[in-house]
Amino acid sequence: MNKKIIILSSLLFVSLSIQSCRNDFLDVKPTEAISTSDLSLLNNDAGANGFVTAIYAKYLDWNISSFSWIGVTTIASDEADKGSSPGDTGGDKNLLDALDFNSTGGSFQDIWQGHYQAINRANQALYYLPLLTNANQDLKTRLEGEAKFLRAFSYFTLVRSFGGVPIVDHVPIAGNDADRAMLLTRKTKEEVYSFIESDLNAAIAVLPQKNAYSASDIGRASKGAAHALLAKVHLYQKNWQKVIDNCNLVTGYSLTPNFADIYKVSGENNAESIFEIQGKGGASQPGIQQYSQTQGARGAGGWGWGFATPSQSLVDAFNEEGDTERRDATIIFRNSTLYDGRVVPATVENPYYNYKVYSSNFTGDDDSDSNIRYLRYAEVLLMKAEAMNELGQTAAAIPFLNEVRNRAGLPNTAAVSQADLRIAIWKERRLELALEHDRWFDLVRTGQAQSAMAANGKTFVVGKHELFPIPASFISESKGASSQNPNY
């Protein structure tokens, strides 16, 4: 999608689709302000587009894709440390780094609230789109598919993070206590996954392929993105054949020949890209709020806050594999020169920083042009290899792993047995997807979390840390309708 259009559309809908700053995650009063005359003004193709671009715009916000998300997915894992200066806690980032967090942590509140705001925007779009009788029907159908994809995307984040969560599948009915009570009740993890699958299957039925979009719509959800996300949803449930089936339907994509090119502006939305959150820097064209800045090099000669510094464990993992190509595209080293000629002097505070979020054009700005790569073709290959191996198709799985390795300049895997290939695929995911917000969840789903955290000097408590705590504010709001996760 055209990044400028996303921003303008979000501003247009600020009085219609943005939830207030209250902690009430069901607060939808702004939507109720849409009058008959307002709806008449929106009863056209631009209005229809606006309801859905406002959902995309939510993913630029601080409380959904920025500092808190970095803390919960990256700093908490073994691939990054808190970084920054020793005395700068980053709110609760020191607690996340030490796995000493609780239900009052601001990062969990942000992620919970941010994704439910996105879900509420999706619900608003799905409610109002059918009422826009003057908008093109084919456009409305596609937009409904995009809204369902984005709703599924947010629920996948929530279920991976918190387990079972409330399913809000409609705009809450004002003043209806029974409806409110129902929406404040957590569903089981299985029910949430079923809901996600339903949304993605509905999206698949109506979304076009990526190449069917015009240049002005780059970044919108596509059929390939929905299949790739559905494959990942099944990966987390160990529905191996469904992983393979959906991976096979992700067509028209290819690996970027040079790994480092993926993370430059020129590599955004390229042939490997399946789904990205779009950022755009510059005046009146904000990007993902301070996503790059919070992770930029800190200190004399730096340009950022210095958080989420790659761990020595991650550096060692690259070195042990002889993987210099991905290492040098993933990690900024102190006292080095970047691809655009910028010198990172010896005076910055930390030895390593995240190269994948570096913005050459808007270095240090609050809003940069850096995208978040959420689904790439390389991951589709690795998911397919993992699923095939788990079904005993080890020999057939190996070539998909080797495609990813060879692109990184590495030789074919030496793994032959199912057990060895399983470990090889897990290691490959760590190196290929480093600092792309998957490592923590990979460790939990594969049962590696306790040993991996111990190797990085952290204590992962089995029976507790598999899930993050439900924000205390929501538990209080639910008035007993929802319980806290175990041991918090």
Per-residue pLDDT for 31 more than 70? no
**Neighbour tally for 397: CB within 10 Å:** 28
| Residues 183 and 302 both lie in one domain | no
3 or 129: which leads in pLDDT: 129
pLDDT at 3: 43
Q: Is residue 327 part of a domain?
A: yes
Beta bridge partners of 273: 376
Per residue in 308-325, pLDDT (tens digit) is 999 999 999 999 999 999
pLDDT at 173: 86
| Residues 58 and 171 both lie in one domain | yes
User: What are the distances in angstroms from CA 450 to CA 313, 318, 433, 460?
Assistant: 15, 21, 20, 5
Per-residue pLDDT for 15 more than 60? no
Average pLDDT over the chain reads 93
Q: Is residue 362 part of a domain?
A: yes
Q: Is this prediction's pTM over 0.85?
A: yes
Nearest to 221, CA basis, from 270, 279, 149 = 149
pLDDT at 437: 98
pLDDT at 25: 66
Per residue in 369-396, pLDDT (tens digit) is 999 999 999 999 999 999 999 999 999 9
* C-alpha count within 13 angstroms, C-beta hemisphere, residue 114: 24
| Residues 139 and 35 both lie in one domain | yes
Task: Please report which confidence band the pLDDT of residue 75 belongs to, taking 50, 70 and 90 as the band edges.
Answer: very high
DSSP string computed for 289-331? TTTTGGGS--BTT--S--EEEEPHHHHHHHHHTT-HHHHHHHE
Rounded Cα distance between 101 and 465, Å, is 10
Q: Which is it for the CA torsion 450, 453, 455, 457, positive or negative?
A: negative
Q: Is residue 265 part of a domain?
A: no
> Which amino acid is located at 452 in the chain?
A
Q: Is residue 232 part of a domain?
A: no
Q: Average pLDDT, stretch 143-164?
A: 98
Q: Is residue 62 part of a domain?
A: yes
| Residues 76 and 191 both lie in one domain | yes
| Residues 54 and 161 both lie in one domain | yes
pLDDT at 37: 79
Q: Average pLDDT, stretch 427-433?
A: 98
| Residues 357 and 470 both lie in one domain | no
pLDDT at 39: 87
Per-residue pLDDT for 18 more than 80? no
Rounded Cα distance between 100 and 92, Å, is 9
Cα of first residue to Cα of last residue in the chain, in angstroms, is: 41
Q: Alpha helix (H) ranges present in 308-462?
A: 312-320, 324-330, 377-390, 394-407, 418-432, 439-446, 449-455
| Residues 7 and 125 both lie in one domain | yes
Per residue in 56-73, pLDDT (tens digit) is 999 999 999 999 999 999
Classify the phi-psi angles of 135: left when phi > 0, otherwise alpha if psi is within -120 to 50, otherwise beta: beta
Domain end residue (candidates: 354, 369, 384): 369
Q: Is residue 285 part of a domain?
A: no
Domain end residue (candidates: 369, 404, 426): 369
Per-residue pLDDT for 107 more than 60? yes
Q: Average pLDDT, stretch 418-437?
A: 98
Domain end residue (candidates: 312, 337, 369): 369
pLDDT at 282: 78
- Provide the domain limits for residue 108: 1-207+458-488
Q: Average pLDDT, stretch 324-352?
A: 98
How many residues are recorded in the chain? 488
| Residues 72 and 194 both lie in one domain | yes
Q: Is residue 396 part of a domain?
A: no
Contact 72, 107 (CB under 8 A): yes
Q: Average pLDDT, stretch 88-106?
A: 97
User: In the chain, how many domains are there?
Assistant: 2
In the block, tokens 């209080």 appear at 476
Rounded Cα distance between 106 and 286, Å, is 23
Nearest to 351, CA basis, from 303, 292, 297, 314 = 297
pLDDT at 388: 99
Per residue in 174-232, pLDDT (tens digit) is 889 899 999 999 999 999 999 999 999 999 999 999 999 999 999 999 999 999 999 99
Nearest to 96, CA basis, from 124, 72, 62, 66 = 72
Q: Average pLDDT, stretch 113-135?
A: 97
Rounded Cα distance between 387 and 233, Å, is 12
pLDDT at 33: 52
| Residues 32 and 179 both lie in one domain | yes
Q: Is residue 231 part of a domain?
A: no
pLDDT at 26: 66
Per-residue pLDDT for 11 more than 70? no
Question: Which domain CATH number covers 132?
Answer: 1.25.40.390
| Residues 148 and 4 both lie in one domain | yes
Rounded Cα distance between 436 and 430, Å, is 10
pLDDT at 144: 98
pLDDT at 464: 98
Percent of the chain predicted with pLDDT > 70: 93
| Residues 12 and 122 both lie in one domain | yes
Per-residue pLDDT for 32 more than 80? no
Nearest to 7, CA basis, from 226, 262, 266, 282 = 282
pLDDT at 24: 66
